[in-house]
Amino acid sequence: MAEPLDMPDLVSLLAAERPIFHSEADFQHALAWLLHQRFPHAALRLEYRPFPDERFYLDIWVDIGTERLAIELKYPTRGIQRPSVASVSRLRIMPPRTSRATTSSRT
């Protein structure tokens, strides 16, 4: 039996490994790589365009067996300051979060 695709669990694993991402693209790539590692037979697409005639893209599309998952990432940020020798570096950090957009099965 295949391992279930549990997004909250996957995001928690990712957060434990990398609590800070420098951009939404960085987060997107890290999450896609984790999905690839956990589900090597899944078809993953980044910036997937499900409707060719429309200018609409999904951040990540996952096709694993009978399960389909559309992932739209949100990148909320908050400022942090990290002291350095000469100045204070300003970073924008985000907690890893995803929004489950759609799940459907094909027959």
- The pLDDT assigned to 1 comes to 44
CB 96 within 8 A of CB 11: yes
Domain ranges of the chain: 7-102
CB 73 within 8 A of CB 35: no
CB 60 within 8 A of CB 35: yes
Category of 24 on φ-ψ map: left (φ > 0), alpha (ψ -120 to 50) or beta? alpha
| Antiparallel, parallel or unpaired: β 98-102 and 67-73 | antiparallel
- The pLDDT assigned to 60 comes to 94
Q: How many CB atoms lie within 10 A of CB 48?
A: 17
- The pLDDT assigned to 94 comes to 57
Mean pLDDT of the chain: 78
Taking only the tens place, the pLDDT of each residue in 13-28 is 998 998 888 888 999 9
Q: How many CB atoms lie within 10 A of CB 67?
A: 15
pTM (2 decimals)? 0.67
Q: Which residues of the chain have pLDDT under 70?
A: 1-2, 77-107
